[in-house]
Structure 1
Amino acid sequence: MNASPIDAPEYLPFRLDLVGQRMLWLRLDAAQRQDAAFLDERALPPRPEGGWLPLSAWLPEASVVPARPADAIAHIGHCGSTLLSRVLDTWPDVQALREPLPLRTLADAWPTRGQADARVSVPAAERLLRASWTAWSRPLPPAQRSVVKLTSSCNGLVEPVLRAFPAMRMVLLDMPLRPWLATLAKSPESMLDAAQAAPERLRLLQARGVGEGLALHAMSLPEQCAMGWLAERLRFRALAEAYSERVLRVDFEALLARPGEVLAEVAAHLGLDAQGLPAALASRHWGRYSKAQDHGYTREDRAHDLALALQRHGADIAKGERWVEGMRDRHGTAVD
């Protein structure tokens, strides 16, 4: 590395190794960042430029108060967050960063930080989060600000980030249960991916006093997914109540149905210039598959796929819906 990543916004924190107590920094140009649907191994250029830096050499020198902290998109997964991120990227002053890998490592370590068997202490975990977010807050010119899209498994970090950076704003994206379950059902890999987060989401329900008697081993896969949807809705509701001025909840179905109205609300919430709205609404991203831009995928294609999923997987989708209705019968407004 010819330049220190501490001072060079060309480099991004790319992989966190808590065993080795080091961070891999990689140089990614504006086009590489814009193209990447995920900032993980899939974003590696043919000849990566960068290197490992010990945390002990970075954290003491890292600025933890960025001039303008990155705003963020958090979501329940498989709900259009990549599309929203790419559309926001059409504003000339915005640099969107999608799902940085170190956030996943931190999210996995966060619940046990400070324990005897943890790789990171409570103060070190918080400093790592602040320092990493500060590095992601440094856009490449001509962009002047960053928007970070979290991985859905990182939602446990949403409140710590909001606490660490009082000037930042957050969009919380989800969708109604039926189309979400249909989205998962049309791709077995998506359903398995959503179920991976079930343990943390079950713990969230338990912490909120509505998880008694629940056990993952007694739940079908659609029920586990429905449980995750409910847990994230409760998390997002609590965040919106606690950070009402800084958090905006967005329904992806509403964004597709009324893109001009909803995107204008998102832009206003993030302080984006309203003059950028026409270009954003005319963006090619609305008609492409967001995670693979070479594939066309229109709103009509999505509606067709969801209708087919409801037809083919209706029993599983109904099973998930019944599970949520049962929770509402037992707990009333606590889970609305």
Structure 2
Amino acid sequence: MPSSPLHDPAFLPFKLDPVTRRVLWLRVDPRWRREAAFLDERALPADAEGGWLGFDSLLDVPLPRARAADAIFHIGHCGSTLLSRLLDSWDDVQGLREPLPLRTLADAWPLLRQPQSRIAPDQAPRLLRALWAAWSLAPAPRSRCVVKATSSCNALAASVLAMHATSRAVLLDMPLRPYLATLLKSPNSVLDAANAAADRLQVLHDHGVGDDLALHALSLPQQCAMGWLAERLRFDALARGEHGDRVLRVDFEALLADPRAVLTALAEHLSLDPLGVDAAMASPAWGRYSKSQDHGYGRDDRAHDLHLAYERHRADIDAGLAWVSARLQRHPSLLAVAGERQAGEA
């Protein structure tokens, strides 16, 4: 392994350890990157080549000059892996799905000004910039990358856009009712939403629409609904903010209903060849479970699962809808954030 793999597109920063202040660099071939749904231990090749180097392998090396990676940020369990795989249909795009060091930084970010932080406040942005530079290097014949973040990394979206003037972001979510049904049909998905609930509740507090809320007082369905509303608020602020011209909001239900129109808008937003839309429309990813390409799972399968979830979890779905409705009545400013369709459902 080279002493400075930051400039070698064959290597990826695979893990960040704030305790030992080291980075795990791995050589991973393009095919493995293309197949992996998660760039973490779940997809680690048995014969991976690499090793640990200190933070200086990121911080004390000139950053490579490459087109800054674009990004997909999302609310979780909303089709982001499918969207990332569809973007792989363009010959020049390398998709990187949920790199673990980004999650590590996102977890550390709220504590940077606290004495228990293991990363110095001035060091964290430098680490983020260097990691993004590494993820921006695409192995030939690809020439650009699109990083799909984990949903817990949404707080980093503004920093990524501020650091990289050419990066563009796609913000993916879906309407409230199918979102609740998607979560509630899977205990693991509910657990994901519950683990993210504290950060999302803080978003409501930061925007002055959550001062009366406490996490311990919210049921799990209410926490799921609260998280949806908080991420809608976060995405709305990004779209209206300083870098809003580099942000595209995408509704997953709209992607399924009119894929050509949404993919065309995505291609324009990311400056992709419009001729690539045909390849994306024909992608086999439409008929496979995105996180495990060995399993068939298409739009009809999803519709069937949602129908069952609406029947089996009706009471919990109604509880989540009612919670959002009450929040919108208490804070009418959130009506625009929730959207007319969702406000009507709630």
| Bucket of the pairwise TM-score, normalised by the shorter protein | over 0.9
1:49 match: 49
Q: How does 1:6-155 map to 2 (within 5 A)?
A: 6-63=6-63, 66-155=65-154
How does the TM-score come out when normalised to structure 1? 0.98
1:307 match: 307
**Residue 116 of structure 1: CA displacement?**
1.6
Q: Distance in 2 between matches of 1:264 and 1:173?
A: 15
Contact kept in structure 2, 1:230 and 1:335, CA below 8 Å: no
Query: The residue matched to 2:245 in structure 1 has which SS?
Result: coil
Q: Distance in 2 between matches of 1:2 and 1:238?
A: 42
Q: Stretches of 4+ moved more than 6 A in 1?
A: none
Q: Residues 290 and 203 (structure 1 numbering): CA distance in 2 closer, same or farther, change over 3 Å? A: same
**Residue 205 of structure 1: CA displacement?**
0.4
Partner AA of 2:87 in structure 1: L
**Residue 47 of structure 1: CA displacement?**
1.2
1:241 match: 240
Q: Distance in 2 between matches of 1:59 and 1:2?
A: 16
CA offset digits 1:125-145 (Å, max 9, x no partner):
000000000000000001000
1:274 match: 274
CA offset digits 1:169-213 (Å, max 9, x no partner):
000000000000000111111111111100000011000000111
Q: Distance in 1 between matches of 2:204 and 2:8?
A: 42
1:4 paired with 2:4, answer: yes
CA offset digits 1:114-162 (Å, max 9, x no partner):
3221111121000000000000000000100000000000001000101
1:298 match: 298
Contact kept in structure 2, 1:234 and 1:335, CA below 8 Å: no
2:341 match: none
1:181 paired with 2:185, answer: no
Q: Distance in 2 between matches of 1:18 and 1:190?
A: 27
Q: Distance in 2 between matches of 1:335 and 1:37?
A: 35
Backbone CA RMSD of aligned residues:
1.1
**Residue 6 of structure 1: CA displacement?**
2.1
Work out the percentage of aligned pairs sharing the same amino acid: 61
Q: Residues 2 and 164 (structure 1 numbering): CA distance in 2 closer, same or farther, change over 3 Å? A: closer
Q: Distance in 2 between matches of 1:332 and 1:108?
A: 31
Contact kept in structure 2, 1:70 and 1:146, CA below 8 Å: yes
Partner AA of 2:68 in structure 1: P
Contact kept in structure 1, 2:66 and 2:137, CA below 8 Å: no
Number of corresponding residues: 335
Q: How does 1:191-206 map to 2 (within 5 A)?
A: 191-206=190-205
**Residue 42 of structure 1: CA displacement?**
1.2
Query: The residue matched to 1:128 in structure 2 has which SS?
Result: helix
Q: Which stretch shows the higher mean deviation, 200-209 or 51-60?
A: 51-60
| Structure 2: runs of 5 or more not aligned | 337-346
Query: The residue matched to 2:244 in structure 1 has which SS?
Result: coil
Partner AA of 2:45 in structure 1: P
1:156 match: 155
**Residue 56 of structure 1: CA displacement?**
2.6
CA offset digits 1:259-307 (Å, max 9, x no partner):
0001100111000001111111000001110000011111011001001
1:227 match: 226
1:255 match: 255
Partner AA of 1:94 in structure 2: V
Contact kept in structure 2, 1:70 and 1:147, CA below 8 Å: yes
**Residue 166 of structure 1: CA displacement?**
1.0
| Structure 1: runs of 5 or more not aligned | none
1:169 match: 168
Q: Distance in 2 between matches of 1:262 and 1:94?
A: 18
